[in-house]
């Protein structure tokens, strides 16, 4: 048995060993803490240096456009426009309790019940009385699946205050779709002067936008806002699809949209059925008020088709969800802003390529044109008997041509040319002639062309070519445009039948 002393020594030894261990650990912790403190201090110093640096940068560099609004520039803006108007500074319901009733231009006898989808679009006056709206409506109505059509509202906001124009548009729609208006499927609403904030003293908009463009964009923002608030307030449907008044769609688009909606695995805010502008963006109707208010807040600064891209992430959707192929295509060439020409087309739209109607013999030839085109829609496509079509990327002007130069002289019986496509009926050949020649000039052209036909409604069909020219040695023929036209040209097929 160990004595008391030994035990004590043993204990003291153990305790001191433990203490040493503790001391070691403590020392380590202390040194770690010291290092961390040093790092934090350094970082803080660096941070302040950076702030100062960037402040200097912002202050001294007014010329440079920055994505973040520079400090000095904000001061400038405040100085320039102390009364920058915020809209809505009022709630339409406060101004006019039943403003949605007032906005309704044509009511329906049918009962309003909650449907699956509302399709909303704003239409405004365009130059030269061009109206695409009727094509849009017809495309929407004929291409909807019948069983889905009962679950749809189409709301059209007439945003021009010209009463005669409003009456014109309304009466045409009433004439074309009496049943749809009667049972409430088509609703026509209008905006009124008092619903708009000031559009005359816009001080804060993108550099490079002219005054008229800034005004036009600002007004369009408010038009959208009014339409969205209307749909939100009347609780028409579960979903809302925003369209423009110059688009067309494809057969069965409602079913395709439903499928895409049902296929979404996670939460979403916005589904897109076109990649362009404010075309074919789908929202939950209950989100429309928030969207409307955000667009309204920045109605001077940003067009809605930019703001929605910032709205979606705020609503926790951080990537765009675009259905490809897309279901809606832009057809308008004259925007409602006077003189402004738009020709943007969606790259992913399902262009249902039509079968060639009349297969010709089409002997080997060169196909030449001075029109611009996309490689996907090359001139050869028009002459090919089985595949594709030609689509110009510019609007044909007077004396532009589309030419076939045969490798060998040919005896031709008949030439058939069809332009335009079902889905782009406007992109056809308008005022043009068909000419043939039997005199080679060089390898790419002929001289002494004779006119043998004229395009009527985008088509030409000359059945007695040899009689007209009295020759069997045809070397070239061409489409020659007699006038400039407002649309791009699609040449769907060129069929050449040889004499037997």
Ligand X SMILES: *[C@@H]1O[C@H](CO)[C@@H](O)[C@H](O)[C@H]1NC(C)=O
Q: Is 134 in the site for ligand X (CB under 6 A)?
A: no
Each residue 456-485 as x (binds ligand X by CB under 6 A) or -, in order, gives: --------------x---------------
For ligand X, the binding residue among 2, 5, 64, 128 (CB under 6 A) is 64
Q: For ligand X, which stretch binds (CB under 6 A), given 273-281, 381-389, 434-442, 489-497?
A: 381-389
Candidates 418, 424, 416; CA nearest to 352 is 424
User: Half-sphere exposure of 317 toward its Cβ, with a 13 Å CA cutoff?
Assistant: 21
3-state secondary structure of 491: strand
Q: How far is the CB of 55 from ligand X (least distance, A)?
A: 11
Residues 6+ apart with CB under 8 A from 117: 148, 151, 152, 153, 237, 238, 239, 240, 241, 254, 257
Beta carbons of 397 and 371 less than 8 angstroms apart: no
Q: 111 vs 263, which CB is nearer to ligand X?
A: 111
Q: Is 384 in the site for ligand X (CB under 6 A)?
A: yes
Q: Are strands 270-272 and 321-322 parallel, antiparallel or unpaired?
A: parallel
Q: Is 407 in the site for ligand X (CB under 6 A)?
A: no
Q: 167 vs 259, which CB is nearer to ligand X?
A: 167
Q: Is 386 in the site for ligand X (CB under 6 A)?
A: yes
Candidates 143, 133, 223; CA nearest to 172 is 133
Neighbour-count burial of 425, counting CB atoms closer than 10 A to its CB (0-12 exposed, 13-18 middle, 19+ buried): middle
Each residue 195-234 as x (binds ligand X by CB under 6 A) or -, in order, gives: ---x-xx---------------------------------
Q: How far is the CB of 359 from ligand X (least distance, A)?
A: 11
Q: How far is the CB of 60 from ligand X (least distance, A)?
A: 4
Neighbour-count burial of 497, counting CB atoms closer than 10 A to its CB (0-12 exposed, 13-18 middle, 19+ buried): middle
For 64-87, b where at least 16 C-beta lie within 10 A, e where not — what string?
eeeeeebeeeeeeeeeeeeeeeeb
Q: How far is the CB of 83 from ligand X (least distance, A)?
A: 8
For ligand X, the binding residue among 6, 162, 422, 448 (CB under 6 A) is 162
Candidates 122, 86, 90, 89; CA nearest to 103 is 122
Site for ligand X in 305-334 (CB under 6 A): none
Q: Is 116 in the site for ligand X (CB under 6 A)?
A: no
Q: For ligand X, which stretch binds (CB under 6 A), given 36-44, 161-169, 348-356, 481-489?
A: 161-169
Site for ligand X in 173-192 (CB under 6 A): 179-180, 183, 185
Q: Is 138 in the site for ligand X (CB under 6 A)?
A: no
Q: How far is the CB of 264 from ligand X (least distance, A)?
A: 26
Q: 13 vs 60, which CB is nearer to ligand X?
A: 60
Q: How far is the CB of 263 from ligand X (least distance, A)?
A: 26
Candidates 106, 172, 178; CA nearest to 136 is 172
CA 274 and chain centroid, separation: 6
Q: 20 vs 53, which CB is nearer to ligand X?
A: 53
| CA 487 to each of CA 109, 136, 398, 420: distance values in angstroms, whole numbers, following the listed order | 40, 17, 13, 10
Neighbour-count burial of 476, counting CB atoms closer than 10 A to its CB (0-12 exposed, 13-18 middle, 19+ buried): buried
Q: DSSP character for 373?
A: B
Binding region for ligand X (CB under 6 A)? 57, 60-61, 64, 97-98, 129, 149-150, 162, 164-165, 168, 179-180, 183, 185, 198, 200-201, 380, 384, 386-387, 470
């Amino acid at each position: 048995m160990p004595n008391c002393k030994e035990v004590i020594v043993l204990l003291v030894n153990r305790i001191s060993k433990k203490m040493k261990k503790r001391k070691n650990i403590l020392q380590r912790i202390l040194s770690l803490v010291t290092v961390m403190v040093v790092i934090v201090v350094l970082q803080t110093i660096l941070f302040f240096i950076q702030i100062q640096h960037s402040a200097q940068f912002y202050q001294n560099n007014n010329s440079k456009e920055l994505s973040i609004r520079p400090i000095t520039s904000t001061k400038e803006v405040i100085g320039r426009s102390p009364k920058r108007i915020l809209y809505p500074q009022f709630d339409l319901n406060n101004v006019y309790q039943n403003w949605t009733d007032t906005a309704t231009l044509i009511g329906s006898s049918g009962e309003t019940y909650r449907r699956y989808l509302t399709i909303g679009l704003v239409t405004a006056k365009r130059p030269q009385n061009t109206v695409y709206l009727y094509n849009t409506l017809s495309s929407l109505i004929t291409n909807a699946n019948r069983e889905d059509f009962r679950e749809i509202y189409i709301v059209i906001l007439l945003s021009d205050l010209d009463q005669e124009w409003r009456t014109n548009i309304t009466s045409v729609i009433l004439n074309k779709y009496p049943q749809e208006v009667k049972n409430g499927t088509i609703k026509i609403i209008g905006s009124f002067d008092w619903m708009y904030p000031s559009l005359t003293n816009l001080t804060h908009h993108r550099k490079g936008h002219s005054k008229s463009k800034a005004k036009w964009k600002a007004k369009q923002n408010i038009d959208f806002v009014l339409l969205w608030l209307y749909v939100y307030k009347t609780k028409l449907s579960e979903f809302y699809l925003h369209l423009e008044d110059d688009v067309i769609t494809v057969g069965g688009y409602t079913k395709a949209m439903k499928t895409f909606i049902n296929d979404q695995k996670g939460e979403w805010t916005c589904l897109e059925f076109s990649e362009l502008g404010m075309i074919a963006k789908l929202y939950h109707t209950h989100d429309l008020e928030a969207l409307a208010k955000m667009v309204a807040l920045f109605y001077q600064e940003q067009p809605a088709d930019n703001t929605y891209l910032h709205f979606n992430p705020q609503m926790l959707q951080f990537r765009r969800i675009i259905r490809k192929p897309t279901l809606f295509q832009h057809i308008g060439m004259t925007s409602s802003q006077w003189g402004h020409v738009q020709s943007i087309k969606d790259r992913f739209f399902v262009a249902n390529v039509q079968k060639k109607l009349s297969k010709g013999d089409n002997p080997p030839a060169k196909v030449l044109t001075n029109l611009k085109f996309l490689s996907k829609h090359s001139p050869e496509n028009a002459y090919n008997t089985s595949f594709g079509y030609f689509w110009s990327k510019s609007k044909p002007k007077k004396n532009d041509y589309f030419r076939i130069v045969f490798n060998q002289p040919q005896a031709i019986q008949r030439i058939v040319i069809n332009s335009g496509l079902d889905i782009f009926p406007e992109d056809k050949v308008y005022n043009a002639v068909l000419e043939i020649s039997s005199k080679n000039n060089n390898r790419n052209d002929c001289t002494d062309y004779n006119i043998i036909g004229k395009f009527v409604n985008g088509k030409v069909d000359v059945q007695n070519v040899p009689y007209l020219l009295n020759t069997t040695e045809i070397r070239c023929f061409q489409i020659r445009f007699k006038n400039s036209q407002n649309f791009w040209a699609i040449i769907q097929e060129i069929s050449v039948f040889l004499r037997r």
